[in-house]
């Protein structure tokens, strides 16, 4: 009697085992028949990753420092931020992590680009229809909360270990903020301004392009910023499936208990996170200058 209360009435063990096996088999079958096709589909992205990495590694280090400095200056007009960005990067290089850092930056740039290209249109679709919004929200929740190891399994089964699988893992994890904030930004645009655009006979495109996106841009930029941060956070996990960069030494450090190696690479990740964060935020603020004071 009490036994019945203490044991949850679970599915028959046999049935459960069969169920899992059937699904696994079906997926394996799917991988076997479509794996090549899917790999072909993602080939352009693989090319992009390879090229980006080659570019970052091929650039002379002074040029990289110069570009980072120029970006920091263009965004912020602050000497302090510019100097801090350049010095941080230089320090990372001085401690022997230049190449891994360049690889990671290449990876982050491509992943962010993909997340933007996929995420902004999705966010716009969400903003245009309440039905799409209520359909997308749970999907985004799953993407953010599902432990990344779990969706790494099918991705690796389909694409094998390597850059592309890593990129997909990173993009899946980093996509939700940009989708959510694009949706929010577009929905938040002042109703009266939208009404004015309508009253002057704007088409849906004109309204999107001239009014909704420009006014949502600061919020979208906040999404881009968060996406970059989440992509960076994912770098260590992505290294488990063969993504090169700062994550791999961390992984090695964990398995071999190399304390200093782990700390150095960890700080390097934090360092470029802060650089990316400050520069993208500075650009975000720049987009809002019309909201500022008299001589903006």
Partner 1 sequence: MPEPLGIEIRNLYKIFGARPRDHVDAVRRGMTKAELNRKHRHVLGLRDISISVEPGTIQVVMGLSGSGKSTLIRHINRLIEPTAGEIVIDGQDVVAMSPAALREFRRHKTAMVFQKFALLPHRTVVDNVAYGLEVQGVAQDKRHRAAMSWIERVGLAGYETRYPNQLSGGMQQRVGLARALANDAPILLMDEAYSALDPLIRYDMQTVLLDLQKEFRKTIIFITHDFDEALRIGDRIALLRDGSIVQEGTGQEMVLHPADDYVSSFVQHVDRAKVVRVASVMQPVTADAQGPAIHGQANLGEAIRMMSAQGLDRLTVLDQTGRAIGLMPMTRAVAVAAGAS
Q: Where does this chain bind partner 1 (CB under 8 A)?
A: 190, 192-193, 195-203, 206, 210-211, 214-215, 290-292, 294, 296
42's tokens = 């993602």
Residue pair 139/172 in contact (Cβ under 8 Å)? The answer is: no
What minimum distance in Å lies between the beta carbon of 219 and partner 1? 13
**Shortest Cβ 70–partner 1 spacing (Å):** 25
> Which CB atom, from 211 or from 279, has the smaller least distance to partner 1?
211
Query: C-beta of 126: minimal distance to partner 1 in Å?
Result: 22
> Residue for token digits 């002042």?
190
CB of 115 to partner 1, least distance (A): 24
Q: How many CB atoms lie within 10 A of CB 212?
A: 22
| Shortest distance in whole angstroms from residue 176 CB to partner 1 | 27
CA angle 230, 291, 80 (to 5 degrees): 55
**Least distance CB 188 / partner 1 (angstroms):** 13
Q: Which residues contact 284 (CB under 8 A, 6 or more apart)?
A: 218, 221, 222, 224, 225
Q: Which residue, 156, 159, 154, is CA-closest to 24?
A: 154
Q: Is 3 exposed, middle or buried (0-12, 13-18, 19+ CB in 10 A)?
A: exposed
Q: How far apart are CA 168 and CA 43, in angstroms?
A: 13
SS3 257: coil
Pick between residue 7 and residue 290 the one whose CB is nearest to partner 1.
290
Nearest residue (CB) to partner 1, 2 versus 294:
294
Q: What angle (nearest 5°) sits at the alpha carbon of residue 225, between those of residues 276 and 181? A: 175
Q: Is 146 left (phi over 0), alpha (psi -120 to 50) or beta?
A: beta
Q: How far is the CB of 85 from partner 1 (least distance, A)?
A: 28
């Amino acid at each position: 009697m009490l036994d019945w209360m203490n044991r949850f009435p679970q599915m028959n063990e046999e049935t459960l085992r069969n169920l899992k096996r059937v699904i696994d088999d079906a997926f394996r079958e799917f991988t076997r028949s479509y794996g090549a096709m899917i790999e072909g589909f993602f080939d352009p992205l693989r090319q992009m990753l390879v090229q980006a990495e080659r570019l970052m590694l091929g650039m002379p280090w002074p040029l990289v420092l110069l570009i980072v400095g120029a970006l920091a200056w263009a965004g912020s007009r602050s000497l302090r931020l510019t100097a801090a960005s350049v010095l941080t990067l230089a320090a990372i290089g001085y401690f022997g992590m230049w190449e891994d850092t360049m690889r990671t930056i290449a990876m982050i740039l491509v992943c962010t680009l993909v997340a933007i290209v996929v995420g902004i249109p999705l966010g716009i679709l969400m903003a245009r229809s309440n039905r799409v919004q209520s359909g997308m929200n749970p999907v985004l929740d799953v993407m953010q909360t599902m432990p990344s190891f779990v969706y790494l399994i099918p991705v690796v089964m389909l694409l094998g270990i390597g850059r592309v699988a890593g990129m997909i893992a990173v993009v899946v994890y980093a996509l939700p903020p940009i989708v959510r904030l694009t949706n929010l930004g577009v929905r938040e645009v002042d109703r009266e301004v939208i009404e004015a655009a309508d009253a002057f006979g704007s088409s849906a495109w004109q309204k999107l392009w001239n009014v909704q996106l420009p006014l949502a841009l600061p919020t979208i930029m906040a999404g881009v910023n968060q996406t970059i941060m989440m992509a960076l956070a994912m770098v260590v996990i992505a290294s488990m499936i063969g993504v090169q960069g700062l994550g791999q030494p961390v992984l090695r450090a964990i398995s071999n208990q190399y304390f200093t190696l782990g700390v150095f690479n960890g700080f390097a990740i934090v360092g470029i996170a802060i650089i990316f964060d400050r520069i993208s935020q500075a650009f975000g603020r720049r987009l809002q200058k019309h909201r500022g004071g008299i001589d903006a």
